[in-house]
Chains A and B, each alone.
Chain A
Amino acid sequence: MKILVAVKRVIDYNVQVRVKEDNSGVVTDNVKMSTNPPDDNAVEEAVKIKESGKAKEIVAITVGEEKAQETVRKALAVGADRGIHVKVDGMIEPLAVSKILQKIVDKEKPDLVFMGKQAIDDDCNQTGQMLAALLNWPQATFASKIEVKDKTLEVTREVDEGLETIEVNVPAIITCDLRLNEPRYASLPNIMKAKKKPIEQINAADLGIDTKPRIDQIKVEEPPKRKAGIKVANVEELVQKLKNEAKVI
């Protein structure tokens, strides 16, 4: 099998995001960027499947500006075989990303496409499902366990009520939950080796996809601030406050 893994470059999950003063977006200059966390799980799972002998090749892909390549390089360092970087500048919506990925799937013909279930920047949670729709492939979203069978996958999905298990035929799209696995760190020798692995660059415009946003971001604001709280001295005071001041118990 061949697995395509999509990764996105986002503001690192540990960074306290700040809104720009002109309300046009959030501050990204001199801010640490990383691979979207559940995309790391997607890469890890693909590598594990390859290590088990059930996949032959892993292709890592990202869609974004020049520096987005770093995320592909990281995937190469933990076990992807080669990379694709589809270059687009500026904001790009999940619908356009999924159309780009569809073009790449048509060309690369993978059996599986893996990606994180949600990007932690726009929190859209759309791309995998959209790609599945465009390809008319089955989708298994929010996967926390994947069992690769002959021509099918059995996937455990994290849903509101608990866990759901479905079986999807290959080819399929899987979006990964953080609980799917524990992503490994790249070793120094592997980071060095990854520098020699090829990354193909493609301009989104050459794929004939219109990436112009359909949604105007009118403004971005800070959420309302919470009133500063107090520290209570002990449990008695806490219960008193909850009963008599907040009146919630």
Chain B
Amino acid sequence: MSSLLIAEHNNKEVKPFTLNAITAASQIDPDLHVLVLGHNSETVAKSISEIPNVKKVIHVDNEIYNNYIAENFTSAVVKHAENYSHIICSANTFGKNLMPRIAALLDISQVSDIIKVISADTFLRPIYAGNAFATVKSNDAKKCITIRPTSFEPAETSGGSAEIVKGDAGEQSNHTKFIKKEEIKSDRPELGTARIVISGGRGMQSGENFKLIQDVADKLNAAIGASRAAVDAGYITNDHQVGQTGKVVVPDLYIAVGISGAIQHLAGMKESKIIVAINKDGEAPIFSVADYGLEADLFDALPKFLAELNKLNTIQK
């Protein structure tokens, strides 16, 4: 049997985390089919058909998929699920919202947020905010799996030529209505996929002070993150939150500024390759995961850090 992956997209482009999920899905089963539910979404179906790991694209184009409503998506996925051994999508807010609804209708106990494929039925997943790793084996005949995107490389996007077939739409729910999406546009790299992330915490003391973070981010072409404390305090919007209930990031370099390092924040960044902590409290738990710790007042250290970076004649992009 084959696997079915549900693509996330905005009717124009495939979202990057779908590419990471495709890598994981093709490790589970190389005969990978992708379901594209959208409206006027031909370019999405076409671009997914060019991903070498994808063997077939099922494209369902209907106006009920113009906006992402889990109820509507679920009905279509269940309709197409019959011939598949695995139903897969990314474990971001898209997949977290969608997959359990599918799993319950198929009477499947879902395996959430896997970080490694051990075999077609056995997976590694973090529990307790990543303080433990569980190896789990699903005994359901059919499996519903969500993939932690940052644990898998994105799939190649060109060179393939999978067949695109038209699929049937599902039912429309009359009980949920999309009203609006406030998307925060930024020229910076996306938090989930950036090579460098610089994050601020409660120590930033105000939203205005995040300018110090922005200046360094501009210099390093970094994405900007934040602890929950900083988001709760209103210093920065929720889409920047890194942690157990926010985003998980695995950049080459993570710079934590004015972040004490609560377990919940560490859960979102401690797999980063290199971690830098700048904090005036030398006892802050963030130093226990930092490769390089600088015990200093961030208001003094950040401008100096920027000045030192400016002295370097090359910065890797």
Residue positions of A touching B, CB distance < 8 A:
11, 13-14, 16-17, 19, 26, 38, 93-96, 98, 117-118, 120-134, 137-142, 144, 154, 157-169, 172, 177-179, 213-223, 226-227, 229-232, 234-236, 238-239, 241-243, 246, 248-249
Compute how far the CA of A162 lies from the CA of B240 in the bound complex, rounded to whole angstroms: 9
Please name all residues of chain B whose beta carbon is closer than 8 Å to the beta carbon of A139 when the two chains form the complex.
Answer: 70-71, 97, 101, 176
Contact A121 B128 (CB under 8 A): yes
Contact B294 A234 (CB under 8 A): yes
Contact B308 A239 (CB under 8 A): yes
Q: Which of A16, A142, A159, A230 has the most CB of B within 10 A?
A: A159
Contact A246 B274 (CB under 8 A): yes
Range for the number of chain B residues in contact with chain A: 35 or more
Q: Does B14 contact A (CB under 8 A)?
A: no
Contact A158 B253 (CB under 8 A): no
Q: Does B301 contact A (CB under 8 A)?
A: yes
Q: Does B153 contact A (CB under 8 A)?
A: no
Q: Does B25 contact A (CB under 8 A)?
A: no
Q: Which one of B108, B131, B253 contacts A17 once the chains associate, using CB atoms below 8 Å?
A: B131
Please name all residues of chain B whose beta carbon is closer than 8 Å to the beta carbon of A98 when the two chains form the complex.
Answer: 104
5 shortest interchain CB distances as A-B pairs: A129-B100, A130-B104, A214-B109, A133-B104, A126-B100
Which positions 225-257 of chain B face chain A at CB distance < 8 Å?
Answer: 228, 231-232, 237-239, 244-245, 247, 252-253
Contact A162 B182 (CB under 8 A): yes
Interface 9-residue window, one of B43-51, B58-66, B80-88, B133-141: B133-141
Q: Does B1 contact A (CB under 8 A)?
A: no
Contact B128 A123 (CB under 8 A): yes
Compute how far the CA of A137 lies from the CA of B98 in the bound complex, rounded to whole angstroms: 14
Contact B109 A95 (CB under 8 A): yes
Interface 9-residue window, one of B30-38, B110-118, B162-170, B200-208: B110-118
Say whether, besides A121-B128, A144-B238, A179 and B232 are in contact (CB < 8 Å): yes
Contact B181 A133 (CB under 8 A): no
Contact with A along B110-130 (1 / 0, CB 8 A): 111100000000100011111
Q: Does B74 contact A (CB under 8 A)?
A: yes
Please name all residues of chain B whose beta carbon is closer than 8 Å to the beta carbon of A11 when the two chains form the complex.
Answer: 128
Q: Which one of B98, B112, B140, B292 contacts A241 once the chains associate, using CB atoms below 8 Å?
A: B292
Contact A242 B183 (CB under 8 A): no
Chain B nearest CB: distance from A125 CB in Å? 5
Q: Does B92 contact A (CB under 8 A)?
A: yes
Say whether, besides A93-B109, A215-B136, A248 and B274 are in contact (CB < 8 Å): yes
Please name all residues of chain A whose beta carbon is closer than 8 Å to the beta carbon of B270 when the two chains form the complex.
Answer: 226
Contact A179 B263 (CB under 8 A): no
Chain A nearest CB: distance from B308 CB in Å? 4
Contact B181 A159 (CB under 8 A): yes
Say whether, besides A95-B109, A121-B127, A219-B135, A177 and B245 are in contact (CB < 8 Å): yes
Please name all residues of chain B whose beta carbon is closer than 8 Å to the beta carbon of A118 when the two chains form the complex.
Answer: 245
Say whether, besides A118-B245, A229-B287, A238 and B127 are in contact (CB < 8 Å): no
A-B contact count (CB 8 A): 261
Q: Which of A16, A96, A218, A248 has the most CB of B within 10 A?
A: A248
Q: Which one of B100, B140, B192, B295 contacts A231 once the chains associate, using CB atoms below 8 Å?
A: B295
Contact B100 A223 (CB under 8 A): no
Contact A226 B289 (CB under 8 A): yes
Compute how far the CA of A158 lies from the CA of B241 in the bound complex, rounded to whole angstroms: 11
Contact B133 A160 (CB under 8 A): no
Q: Which one of A96, A123, A169 contacts B127 once the chains associate, using CB atoms below 8 Å?
A: A123
Chain B nearest CB: distance from A164 CB in Å? 5
Please name all residues of chain B whose beta carbon is closer than 8 Å to the beta carbon of A126 when the two chains form the complex.
Answer: 99-100, 103, 110, 112
Contact B104 A172 (CB under 8 A): no
Complex A-B: 15 CB contacts under 8 Å: A121-B128, A125-B96, A130-B103, A138-B176, A139-B176, A161-B239, A162-B184, A162-B239, A178-B245, A218-B137, A220-B127, A221-B132, A221-B135, A234-B296, A235-B296
Please name all residues of chain A whose beta carbon is closer than 8 Å to the beta carbon of B274 when the two chains form the complex.
Answer: 242, 246, 248
Compute how far the CA of A232 lies from the CA of B100 in the bound complex, rounded to whole angstroms: 46
Q: Which one of A123, A127, A248 contacts B253 once the chains associate, using CB atoms below 8 Å?
A: A248
Contact B104 A123 (CB under 8 A): no
Q: Does B215 contact A (CB under 8 A)?
A: no
Please name all residues of chain B whose beta carbon is closer than 8 Å to the beta carbon of A124 when the two chains form the complex.
Answer: 110, 112
Chain A nearest CB: distance from B278 CB in Å? 8
